[in-house]
Structure 1
Amino acid sequence: MAKKQTKKKSGAQNDETRNIKTFWKIFGGLIALVFLVFLLASWGVFGSLPDETSLENPEKNLATEIIASDGKVLGKFYKENRTPVKYEALPDHLVNALIATEDVRFYDHSGIDAKGTVRAFVFLGSKGGASTISQQLAKLFFTEQVSRNKLQRGIQKVKEWIIATRLERRYTKEEIITMYFNEYDFLNQAVGIESAANIYFDKPPEELTTIESATLVGMFKNSSLYNPLRNPEGVKNRRNVVLSQMAKYDFISESVKDSLQALPLEINYTPQGHDEGIATYFREYARAFMEDWIKKNPKTDGTNYNIYRDGLKVYVTIDSKMQKFAEEAVDMHIAHLQKEFDKQNEKNKTAPFRDITEEETKQIMDASMRRSDRWRILSEQGKSEEEIINSFKKKTQMRIFSWGGDIDTTMTPLDSIRYYKSFLQASLMSMTPQTGEVKAWVGGINYKHFKYDMVKKGKRQIGSTFKPFVYATAIDQMHMSPCDTLPNTQYTIPEGKYGLLKPWTPKNAGGGYGGMLTLKNALANSVNTITARLIDRVGPVPVIDLVKKMGVDTENMPEAPSIALGTPDVSLYEMVGAYSTFANEGVYIKPTLIQRIEDKNGTVLFQNVPETKDVISNETAYVTVSLMEGVTQGGSGTRLRHKWAVGNSVYKNAVTGYPYAFENPIAGKTGTTQNNSDGWFMGMVPNLVTGVWVGGEDRATHFSSTAYGQGATMALPIWAIYMRKCYEADELNVSKDQFKRPANLSIETNCSNWKAENTNDDGIPDEFDF
């Protein structure tokens, strides 16, 4: 009996020994299998792994940045909106939020967190995962899209571990964190922390607060699920989890955590899409400039730069504050003016057009159809002209522009063309005359819906804004003074002179003849008869030669006296450059927009060299400026001096007190073209020249009366709102000083009694007399 028991005990011990041996064999086999899997993966048996070179220099698409003169990023050109930052640009609380939430033992492991891995294995992930920051970076950098197949996902995980350990050997902890922040896609075109900080909070990463950092770090869990635009409540909850983790690991105190968690989610969404943000029209100009530049300036290896992936930095002259003020000024005035325009068109049977026949309307609409993207696309598809025209008559769903925000509606493409032609357009350009630096550029009212740039591409008749060039020529040639007088009587240039086919007798707007007028008074009140006498004295050719030297394209400018009244088509870009010659003591400087271009390493690839030209004497320039000061002292620009309160609530909310009431020296000139199709105002102070144009897309789109259609009503208020905002920003240093008087001035400019000669009411409706 005892022997049996001994045998049983010995057998049990043998079984236990065998089981232990079997366990260790299995365990050893598993270890060997795991080792073999890792070894085979490292050899590339399960798919190639990046080599050391790709680890050192991962190929990624880097966005080209457009950087304003004040350091603000205006926009980017990209396939992926990625701009890498250095570790120094990451605030401590941003890094701490990441470590506390994603990998608290980050500084203690070498790519794989053994403790976290065991915990995840034992609890099957219910108490948190084991993926380290290094592993997550490996997945972002080098592995394919996560597979749903468990075996493939397991192999991918092995690759991530191998790459994570390689990353740890190759890079410092700070470099790994920086790469992770630079690589993560936060969605809404925000790839990397630099884009995310700017898009979601309109600031660079180094300015992020603790609560903003927690919000962005919270998105690492799943940026699609925790998207501030689609799931603000979920994002807030996730943010608070991050704050709790920061408090748990003593990165913030419990009291700070509680106070921050109580705050609402505040997102300052600032999209960086090509149709969104500020300076959209200018950014399109910059894109065209860059595409032309890269064709002429290849890399050292002979290949061309790519503005969508090479991470270039384009430093421009635009000032972000002035650009913002310019866009606000355009929006404020045109939205208000559009209401009056729509009101006047309610009883206009040919709206939005006036003074044209039905056939002319049909021609406008037909031309617009043929220029449209729809026509081009359908034509490329092989559709017949009849099929294409019929498609314009079928109702379709579309999103259209309105001043109250985009509207989803249903209409025919033909009706949408007519609808868009009913909107008044505007453009503004502002430039420092002494340097040629363009500080603000507004090409239209909304780039997304109206892509044609009216700063440089668009050319329109310039009306009386051309007259200062005639006066300047007379001053230069004949040494005339603003105080010289000429008779205000109708003046005729006979047939045959200057090639005229018939006599030319211009009339004054609104009549008004008789007596003698000083040149200063004549320009201030845009008296056509005086301008006609002057151009007959100097001839059209010298005037054309003058504006050509000032940067105006004169190729199609006729050598006819009628140019004196502003019949030529000229761009706003050319006009601002030309007027700047007067403010810059007779020296023309070609407008500058691109200061320099750098590659992603900071190497300067292009540096602008100003193009200058002496055009007129400093005396002629100063006397012409003195003449234009009269426009704002007793002429069509006098409203800039008005001190009555604003009558419209739109302006009351935007500008406190009296909106204009300028007291400093201002030289300028209004301009209005035939049928009130175009309204202009060119305004100058010593260190800033700004031009504004307002009109319809077609010349047939205009107000019925000069009271509303003149430059003093349509364009001047935009200049005034813009300048008021600039003056309120002291850091811009916009001058309020007198224009520089030449030491050798020999022409009399002080006409003390000129203002009383012939000033009268400008006839502007009170609601627009801001």
Structure 2
Amino acid sequence: MVGLRLSRQTVASVKRLIPSFLAALDKGLTCINPHIAQALWHLRHPTRRGVAWACAALPVLLLLYVLLLIPFTPGIGDIRKAKIEQPARILSADGKLLAEFKPSNREWVKLKDISPNVVSALIATEDHRFYQHFGLDWRRTASAALHTFSGDRQGGSTITQQLARNLYPDEIGRAPTLTRKLKEAITAFKIEALYSKDEILETYLNTVPFLYNAYGIEMAARTYFDKSASDLNVLESATLTGMLKGNSYYNPVLNPERALDRRNTVLAQMVKYGKLTPAAYETLKRRPLRIDFERQTEPPGPAPHFAQQLRKWLAAWADRNDYNIYSDGLVVRTTIDSRLQNMATQAVTLQGKQLQGIANSAWGTRSGCSNGRDLLQTFLRETPEFRAAKDAGLSDDDALKRVASDHDLVKSVCETKTRVQADFLAMDPRNGQIRAWVGSRDFSQDPFDHVQQARRQPGSTFKPFVYAAAFEAGAKPSDTLVDKPVEIPLAGGEVWRPSDEDEPSERAISLRDALAFSRNRITAQVMETVGPNKVARLARAMGVRDSELDPVPSLALGTSPVTLKEMVSAYGTIANLGGYVEPVMVTRIEDRNGEVLADFAPAPSRQELPADAARTLVDVMRDVVSRGTGSSIRGRFGVRGDVAGKTGTTQGNADGWFILIHPQLVAGAWVGFNDSRVTLRSDYWGQGAHSALPIVGDFFQRAQRSRLVDTHVKFDTAQEPGWFAERTGRLREWLQQWLAASPAKREKPVAPRSPVRRAPVETVAPQASAASAVSETVVEPRDLPPLLQAPGSTPAPASGAVDGEARGGGAPAIAPTPTPDDVVPPDADSAPTEGAATNGGAAH
């Protein structure tokens, strides 16, 4: 009520003020009206003196307006900087050029390297008094103004004015207004004051656009005539010069007749100003255009995907520090090793070609995916052509028949969908420096960066995080769990039933063997013990920091999509014995003179996994490559030294993974298709051990042969005794010495004995016989104290195939000796899983 009362009072006050306000306004207008009326009378009846004053005032007003516009045009410093414009140069750690960040597809050439025919045609057509004026041709400007006022619009811009517009399109603009022309003229005067005539010509010819992403005369010559600018003849020079009046309108590719007429006009201008003889003109004007068109693409460089990601980072850094990556000549020194980058590219290319041949055979790609008609129809329904047919009123079947009858469309869809993709990343785990980055098989065909942008299910490569959580909680590699059917209730009443390729053996399997041979049922039990939330938190802390991890039981088998960069970073934490180091791309930024602008020291290591747990995990992962699913690293590729790793394959063989760790280098690869509904259709080639592992194996083999990776360096996995163990050992030694010094012992001398040599203890027990397997005591997980320990139980290998990569069993489950190269132990990642849909589509 109070608020309402105040409103009414306010309204009443306003009403009282309105009459007085109107009265004051009327009084003011009454005073002004006579002056306005007098001014209007003088305008209708001008005197000679008034006309003279008006004529004198116009130039003054124009001059004042020009002075007001000067601060809104490019400054002298900006124009001087444009004169020495240099793009940022990206260098590898060993000093090789990786990329140059140019604003457009342009290659700068000196004026002496441009055909004189181009210069003659340009000056004769665009600005024949170029060498006589100082940026503005008054006679041409006045003539253009008169024609424009009479209805015949003409351009009067000089080459210098056009250069001003090309260099500073945002500051000057392109609107046909007096303001734009004045800004253009002011900037042209500034350019003439700083540039010589030859420098103006050179800059103009190197910055003018020619369509098809071709900037400058050099790229135009390559695009339209497949030659260098220095080799252009009179006809070719006239054709390109003619395009400057209107690139699209006089496009020689799409509008050859217009381009021919315009070319002849340029030739006539050359005759008019003495650059061409009349006889030569009569001969040349009858000749055809003879265009040799080919789009020019920027060379991708040795690390195009890395450069693509670095450009984004550098642009943000430059904005914060007031630099321009296209003109300030920055020199960026990166962490990439050009030798390792070349090895990675070769490995991806070689394996990609081999897998592409397998995919083509599996899908019948050459005959339009004849081996996958059902899925092809799904792909065709997703095309714009199908949607257009539906919008035209056709039924679903008729629309499908229409698009299916387009053989070129079917072939294009088939080839695109069945194109094998692969990516690779290598980094130094000690400092996080990225050494090699391959985002796809071919940047020109697939610029999408699978390393940092593609999120795919990691499959069994995620399992080390589960075992890391267990080892952090106190579990030991020798602890065992029973290989039995597993059923884990989920929210909503569903049940998750992870499975392996073989049937449950009801035997106790050690954690070491479960990870080495990628056992799904054992891993699921470990996950149930440590908890999904703890595993998700640990994985994030170790490096999987950008992708969302769903803390559900099936996360143990890698159901949450992640990027390869995240996985390699997290495996780097394992290789660094639990210390996470953020991945870095740049070590230093310098200016064009070599002065250091910024230095990027490696980020300090942060211990995210206890060192003892990390040492245990590394030791267990050694078995993956020595006798487990990744043993072909040793047998086939001959990788030496202290290495460990993990394979991974998702459900249906949609994704293949492999990551290898070494104290100096961590390398990982992914293989699959852009569309996860497409697979290699092979239970053998679809596994990570056969699709992704060869890329890493080939890379490491080359790196070791080139001595870029030291095979003598080892992981420091020796476990240091704790305080209690150290004190207990000292007490034991003191008791032994005290007992040895007793009188009874001294009275009876004992002959010295040679020290007892103990045989090394095998981590894996020998293969149990059938009888012993039947009589073996089975220990349930709920009886294990305190976490996974089963006192008195002997780790026993599982029977049959232990991983989903060996269909049909037959291979020995766990063997103490490395598997031969041609028989790689399978990876359980591709084993079918029941009840996983509620966990985001479980893929193993």
> What range is the shorter-chain TM-score in?
0.5 to 0.7
Structure 2 counterpart SS, 1:147: helix
- Aligned counterpart, 1:705: 682
% identity of equivalent residues = 30
| CA pair 622-317 structure 1, distance change in 2 beyond 3 A | same
Deviation at 1:634, TM superposition (A): 0.9
- Aligned counterpart, 1:16: none
Structure 2 counterpart SS, 1:569: coil
Note if contact 1:692-1:719 (Cα within 8 Å) is conserved in structure 2.
yes
Rounded to whole Å, the distance in 1 between the matches of 2:231 and 2:565 is 47
Rounded to whole Å, the distance in 2 between the matches of 1:151 and 1:711 is 65
TM-score normalised by the chain length of structure 1: 0.60
Rounded to whole Å, the distance in 2 between the matches of 1:671 and 1:710 is 7
Rounded to whole Å, the distance in 2 between the matches of 1:55 and 1:138 is 23
Residue 334 of structure 1 aligns with an amino acid whose one-letter code is: G
Rounded to whole Å, the distance in 2 between the matches of 1:547 and 1:444 is 26
Deviation at 1:752, TM superposition (A): 2.0
Note if contact 2:360-2:366 (Cα within 8 Å) is conserved in structure 1.
no
Rounded to whole Å, the distance in 2 between the matches of 1:589 and 1:735 is 23
* Counterpart among 463, 470, 473 of residue 467 in structure 1: 463
- Aligned counterpart, 1:740: 716
Q: Does 1:624 align with 2:639?
A: no
- Aligned counterpart, 1:665: 642
Rounded to whole Å, the distance in 2 between the matches of 1:63 and 1:393 is 52
Deviation at 1:139, TM superposition (A): 11
| CA pair 344-219 structure 1, distance change in 2 beyond 3 A | closer
Note if contact 1:665-1:738 (Cα within 8 Å) is conserved in structure 2.
yes
Rounded to whole Å, the distance in 2 between the matches of 1:324 and 1:350 is 34
- Aligned counterpart, 1:536: 528
Does 750-759 or 450-459 show the bigger shift? 750-759
Rounded to whole Å, the distance in 1 between the matches of 2:232 and 2:581 is 49
* Counterpart among 631, 636, 640 of residue 633 in structure 2: 640
Deviation at 1:524, TM superposition (A): 0.9
Rounded to whole Å, the distance in 2 between the matches of 1:335 and 1:420 is 15
Residue 316 of structure 2 aligns with an amino acid whose one-letter code is: D
**Structure 2 counterparts to residues 17-416 of structure 1, below 5 A:** 59-79=83-103, 136=112, 146-148=122-124, 152=128, 155=131, 222=231, 274=298, 276-295=300-319, 297-299=320-322, 305-346=323-364, 351=369, 358=374, 364-365=379-380, 369=384, 412-413=408-409, 415-416=411-412
| CA pair 580-755 structure 1, distance change in 2 beyond 3 A | farther
Deviation at 1:739, TM superposition (A): 1.0
- Aligned counterpart, 2:695: 718
Q: Does 1:430 align with 2:426?
A: yes
- Aligned counterpart, 1:691: 668
Note if contact 2:572-2:580 (Cα within 8 Å) is conserved in structure 1.
yes
- Aligned counterpart, 1:20: none
| CA pair 143-472 structure 1, distance change in 2 beyond 3 A | same
Residue 419 of structure 2 aligns with an amino acid whose one-letter code is: F
Deviation at 1:638, TM superposition (A): 1.0
Residue 622 of structure 1 aligns with an amino acid whose one-letter code is: R
| CA pair 585-349 structure 1, distance change in 2 beyond 3 A | same
- Structure 2 gaps of 5+ residues are 1-74, 136-193, 235-294, 726-759, 768-796, 808-819, 826-844
Residue 715 of structure 2 aligns with an amino acid whose one-letter code is: F
Deviation at 1:415, TM superposition (A): 4.2
Note if contact 2:358-2:680 (Cα within 8 Å) is conserved in structure 1.
no
Structure 2 counterpart SS, 1:629: helix
* Counterpart among 487, 502, 508 of residue 500 in structure 2: 508
Rounded to whole Å, the distance in 2 between the matches of 1:138 and 1:348 is 46
- Aligned counterpart, 2:414: 418
Rounded to whole Å, the distance in 2 between the matches of 1:349 and 1:52 is 63
TM-score normalised by the chain length of structure 2: 0.55
Deviation at 1:557, TM superposition (A): 2.4
- Aligned counterpart, 1:588: 580
User: Deviation digits for residues 618-667 of structure 1, max 9, x if unmatched?
Assistant: 11111101111100111111112225xxxxxxxxxxxxxxxx12232220
| CA pair 450-154 structure 1, distance change in 2 beyond 3 A | closer
| CA pair 351-220 structure 1, distance change in 2 beyond 3 A | closer
Q: Does 1:485 align with 2:480?
A: yes
| CA pair 279-744 structure 1, distance change in 2 beyond 3 A | same
Deviation at 1:556, TM superposition (A): 3.7
Structure 2 counterpart SS, 1:744: coil
Residue 714 of structure 2 aligns with an amino acid whose one-letter code is: Q
Aligned residues: 544
- Aligned counterpart, 1:162: none
Note if contact 1:672-1:710 (Cα within 8 Å) is conserved in structure 2.
yes
Rounded to whole Å, the distance in 2 between the matches of 1:190 and 1:367 is 34
Note if contact 1:393-1:413 (Cα within 8 Å) is conserved in structure 2.
no
- Aligned counterpart, 1:567: 559
- Aligned counterpart, 2:239: none
Deviation at 1:488, TM superposition (A): 2.0
Rounded to whole Å, the distance in 1 between the matches of 2:134 and 2:120 is 13
Rounded to whole Å, the distance in 1 between the matches of 2:120 and 2:316 is 36
Note if contact 1:275-1:448 (Cα within 8 Å) is conserved in structure 2.
no
Rounded to whole Å, the distance in 2 between the matches of 1:391 and 1:60 is 58
Note if contact 2:483-2:509 (Cα within 8 Å) is conserved in structure 1.
yes
